[in-house]
Structure 1
Amino acid sequence: MPTEPLRIARRCRVVVDNDWAGDPDGLVALAHHLLSPGHRVEAVTSSLLSPAFGPPQGGAATGAALATELVELIGRAERPPVHAGVDVPDDGRDGPNDAADAIVRAARRDDPLTLVLVCGGPLTNVAAALRRDPGIAGRMTLSWVGGTLGAGPEYNRDTDPDAAAQVLATTGLERWQFPVETYRQCAWSVAQLQDALEGCGDLGAWLWRRYVELPLPEGFEVDAVWPLGDSCPIIGTALAAESSTWVEGAGGTTRTCTRVDTALLFGDMLALFRRHTRALS
């Protein structure tokens, strides 16, 4: 007789923002978010795509379509809505942006669970949401995969540096940050990644296909190691932030993670992926 599952307490609710049409590690992280019992995914928003992955035009919509496909594939009863953002870097003006509107709605919604805005890409939608309603800064926590501890380039910040500068200068916004020096700790070999995903049924096959079909220049050779850095925020939203190492910023409103408990993070991810596969078999 199968045992009854333990009831897991929900720690918070989350909006997950990322450039879903870019590096597939964002979609791996989204699957983990959607399957995690420790938080509730309230909405998914799609952000600006770096020109490194081709022309940005249509990238946010393409990312939203991929995120929607993944939500439907996982098939949970609670299926969060998916909203596309804009395809241009932040210019300080407020045009139509469904993703930013969704962030504002989530932040303004009264709920016993606190809101964490998880961003694994550029901060374009976050900047637009804060301009639309500056008061939401005090109603949510931003958990961002981006920036650096020292000098040097960093993909998420540099894709939209003006948006990053605006968001990071916002007063009253509590932040958890996973800089490049930290999220690079979440490295798997390509062989590990393929082996793990191919053992997780239709979900794993769909995720691995995103890697195989990633539009790369002809003849381009990938490294043997592929970081899964976009998964970092789950350690603080659905699992246990105290298992990792953090540095508190001035004023107590910022926390920077310097060491991620990768064993907890990815052990949980694989367990949830495998449980999902067994449930469908």
Structure 2
Amino acid sequence: MTRIPRTPSPAPAPRRWRPGETPWATIDGVAAPAAAPPSARVIVDNDFAGDPDDLYQLVHHLLSPAVTIPLVVGSRLREGDGFYPGADSATQAAAIARDVMDRMGCDAAEIVVAGSNTPLPDRGTPQPSSAAAAIIDEALREDTGLPLFYAAGGGLTDLATALLLEPRIAERMTLLWIGGNEHPELAAPPPGGMPIEYNLLIDVNAAQVVFTDSALPIWQIPRDVYRQCLVSSAELRRRVAATGPVGRYLHEETRAVVETVAAHGHAMPETYALGDSPLVLLTALRSAFEPDSASSRHVVVPTPALEADGTYTARPDARPMRIYTQVDTRLMFEDLFTKLAELDAWLASA
């Protein structure tokens, strides 16, 4: 659904910055003390041609100096998807990510790579792409001791391919995934919910590679939890759209979804789910002492086998995984709104 950008960007920001810089961070007009060095690396992987909640996540992550982002992967949607039905959704996702960065003045287009436009045909056959190669290179780096998180808000095609091509990377990063069905012992599906959750359905084979066939540590934010991430229409108007060109762009993209749904006879409520935002919360907004996602809740269980129908089969001797049951939406959204306002004030002062 995110509208494919024109080239060049129709609205490049008047001031420029690089990831890790925070020239907008001031106190009473004076530059704030330098932030601490990043505490982690984050590979961002999202289907930016789809639901625009991923645009909010990308902007928020780039505005968060607690993490460094070496790689942004534009990943695929299912062909025929209602948000973007074309066969080149990963290619378009990468173009959208570069456009968003240009709009916010972020000069780092080189970190954006496109994933595969096609899913894994089975659990043993990778789909090589520029993204998969870059994922392997980043995971195998020896020149940094920063922990590596893989923050995925869509399907897992490129991560699964990277694991199939180089299984050693499973020991060198942790996956945070927005996706997967509810775990029956923790939550029930929503009324009328898809039998196979949306992000899982993008590439079930890939998710099975990650859950069942690999040794990769997983922090899962399943459907019942990412559905908690609701913002109101009033918040989007006053806390997003009112924060200058970047905020207006984000708001326009979510409004386009609401209007499209309404045109098909389905009234939207006064809320929108920014379901990918926990990827920022759980990486950039961790506690300072004994760092962890301290303001959210999770359980630790042996990683179940993921079945083709989206269900889970217990494996008592499997590696442990986290399943999040609650996320701190107050911290997550207040931080987003405040950073958008700070960015806008800085861009407007050019």
TM-score (normalised: structure 1): 0.92
Name 2:238's counterpart in structure 1. 195
Q: What letter corresponds to residue 301 of structure 2 in structure 1?
A: G
1:137 to 133, 154, 170: 170
- What is the aligned residue count? 281
Q: Report which stretch shifted further, 118-127 or 69-78.
A: 69-78
CA distance in 1, matches of 2:95, 2:267: 25
- Residue 168 of structure 1 pairs with residue 220 of structure 2: no
Contact 2:94 2:113 in 1 (8 A): yes
Q: How does 1:207-218 map to 2 (within 5 A)?
A: 207-214=250-257, 216=260
Contact 2:167 2:214 in 1 (8 A): no
Tell me: CA distance 1:216–1:61, structure 2 relative to 1, closer, same or farther (3 Å): farther
1:59 to 85, 89, 92: 89
The CA deviation at 1:158 is 1.5
Name 2:298's counterpart in structure 1. 246
State the secondary structure of the residue aligned to 1:22: coil
Q: Report which stretch shifted further, 212-221 or 66-75.
A: 212-221
The CA deviation at 1:175 is 1.1
Name 2:141's counterpart in structure 1. 109
Question: What do residues 128-182 of structure 1 show as CA deviations (whole Å, max 9, x unaligned)?
Answer: 1111111100011101001122364311012211111111114431111101111
Contact 1:48 1:56 in 2 (8 A): no
Name 2:248's counterpart in structure 1. 205
Name 1:178's counterpart in structure 2. 221
1:258 to 311, 319, 325: 325
- Residue 231 of structure 1 pairs with residue 265 of structure 2: no
Name 1:118's counterpart in structure 2. 151
Larger Rg: 2
Question: What do residues 200-235 of structure 1 show as CA deviations (whole Å, max 9, x unaligned)?
Answer: 111112212322445947822452221111011212
State the secondary structure of the residue aligned to 2:263: coil
Q: What letter corresponds to residue 34 of structure 1 in structure 2?
A: L
Q: What letter corresponds to residue 180 of structure 1 in structure 2?
A: R
The CA deviation at 1:80 is 5.4
CA distance in 2, matches of 1:165, 1:232: 22
CA distance in 1, matches of 2:220, 2:250: 26
Q: Report which stretch shifted further, 159-168 or 50-59.
A: 50-59
Q: Report which stretch shifted further, 211-220 or 154-163.
A: 211-220
TM-score (normalised: structure 2): 0.75
Tell me: CA distance 1:80–1:271, structure 2 relative to 1, closer, same or farther (3 Å): farther
State the secondary structure of the residue aligned to 2:94: helix
CA distance in 1, matches of 2:115, 2:215: 24
State the secondary structure of the residue aligned to 1:40: strand
CA distance in 1, matches of 2:108, 2:51: 26
Contact 2:171 2:215 in 1 (8 A): yes
Contact 2:118 2:127 in 1 (8 A): no
Q: Which runs of 5+ in 2 are unaligned?
A: 1-27, 190-194, 287-292, 303-317
Tell me: CA distance 1:222–1:161, structure 2 relative to 1, closer, same or farther (3 Å): farther
Q: What letter corresponds to residue 173 of structure 1 in structure 2?
A: L
Q: What letter corresponds to residue 66 of structure 1 in structure 2?
A: I
Name 2:46's counterpart in structure 1. 18
Q: What letter corresponds to residue 62 of structure 2 in structure 1?
A: L
CA distance in 2, matches of 1:94, 1:244: 34
CA distance in 1, matches of 2:297, 2:110: 31
Q: Report which stretch shifted further, 161-170 or 25-34.
A: 161-170
CA distance in 2, matches of 1:235, 1:229: 11
Percent identity over paired residues: 35
Name 1:5's counterpart in structure 2. 32
Question: RMSD between aligned alpha carbons?
Answer: 2.1
